[in-house]
Amino acid sequence: MMLSFQRQQLRHHHDRRPCSCWRFLVLLLAIHIHVNVSSGQMYGLNIVSGAQEKGAVCLDGSPPGYYFIPGFGSGLNKWIVYVEGGAWCSNDRDCAKRAKTYLGSTYYSESRGLPPTSGILSDNPGVNPDFYNWNVVWLRYCDGASFLGDRQEPVVMSQGQTIYYRGARVWDAIMQDLMAKGMASADEALLTGCSAGGLTTIHRCDSFRDIFPPQTFVKCLADAGFFLNMPDVKGGQTSASLFYGVAVTHNVFGNLNRFCTLFTAPDARWECIFAHNILPFVRTPLYILQSTTDYWQLENLIGPKWIDPTGQWSTCVENMWSCNATELSVVQEFRRRMVEDIGFGYPGLRGEFVISCPAHCMATDDYRWSSQQRFTIHGKTMQQSIGDWFYARNFGDMLLVDGLSPMNPTCAGAMNSAETKFAEHLDILSTLES
């Protein structure tokens, strides 16, 4: 089926009169688009036509959008929909600040730069043999609540700024646009995303499955989408406070898993935003790609700067000799809870690559995705495990989970310096516990 994507230009603060040589500019633009697409590079932002009229808008009221690379060869009717990450905003003030950035508006997309085309999004068959020639869609994340919010009335701040909490409508508008432009004829489809986008993937997996005909082969892959509801290093509830604020501020309740909310007390239904509470109810095949020492969570939810004024926790993360026994035990408890909350699913329906290497988001990094020397479990790369799971090639390698100790030896070489030091901490802890 011929794909027809209209690239609409965003209206910025100043309208410009068209140049008299506009025909020449259009020709150059067409050539540039052709060159970028044929080389596997994403070009421009596709704005969803008519979204604003439906109330499907980003935090600042701008229309939603996505980047697109067409598939080729045997991948013409196969689609990857990738959901961008970028944390959340949990109150009106923070969302108002976010609305003035690329994470809350498509008007600032140029400051974000083009998305990566590596790892699972790579068009190199040597790196990405199962998905290299698929259609790739990169969803711009601009609502601040993992596409779950739906608050009818906008919020007007004291300075006159208007904030919209319409993530669920944005999701629906983008899906409708993609289906109208060729995705409806997909033979195979994979919903995936990282961090806040990984959480979206878990929440939206079943509804993504439901927009396709029954014969379409659909699965989901959540990368770093498992966020723990556990106390921080001071015993506080940083994680719970954040996600409770997201749930209430954005009014996500109508878009949480209905089975989870049905079996949860009304005053605790906000907890259905956490992945471990909805995982038992996801019926579509789902793969969990997760680090048990998720670096972002350890720095932002377990030891955030505002509860660490002396920088002791931050120093622990950066310097292996400064960690005290209490801090190391917190990290080990985090690892234990992560493995426990993810649990073990049924092979085929569930796939898992749960690794002990400190990381946050792995599937779009070439080395972590497919290198035989980096980030492997029992000799398997995440690319091999995910491909085997997607195509049901080897049930024995679909549930790969690292032990709590010792640290996986393949972590070294694929981490930055801070991650490497943190891995050394955990090896020290493992030695002390043995």
- Whole-angstrom distance, CA of residue 419 vs CA of residue 359: 7
Does residue 356 have an active-site annotation? Answer: no
Instruction: Give the CA distances from residue 195 to residues 226, 262, 268, 412, in Å, rounded to whole numbers and listed in that order.
Output: 8, 26, 23, 22
How many beta carbons lie within 10 A of that of residue 340, not counting itself? 10
- Whole-angstrom distance, CA of residue 341 vs CA of residue 336: 9
Name the maximum alpha-carbon separation found in the chain. 76
- Whole-angstrom distance, CA of residue 124 vs CA of residue 37: 14
Does residue 195 have an active-site annotation? Answer: yes
Considering 203, 250, 360, 425, which one is annotated as catalytic?
360
Contacts of 180 (CB under 8 A, 6+ apart): none
* 194 close to 222: Cβ distance less than 8 angstroms: no
Residue 19, burial from CB neighbour count under 10 angstroms (0-12, 13-18, 19+): exposed
The two structure tokens encoding residue 198 = 């990984």
- Whole-angstrom distance, CA of residue 135 vs CA of residue 177: 15
* 394 close to 388: Cβ distance less than 8 angstroms: yes
- Whole-angstrom distance, CA of residue 358 vs CA of residue 235: 22
Considering 123, 150, 223, 294, which one is annotated as catalytic?
294
Helix (H, G, I), strand (E, B) or coil at 353: strand
Considering 90, 195, 291, 370, which one is annotated as catalytic?
195
- Whole-angstrom distance, CA of residue 123 vs CA of residue 415: 24
Does residue 370 have an active-site annotation? Answer: no
Catalytic annotation, residues: 195, 294, 360
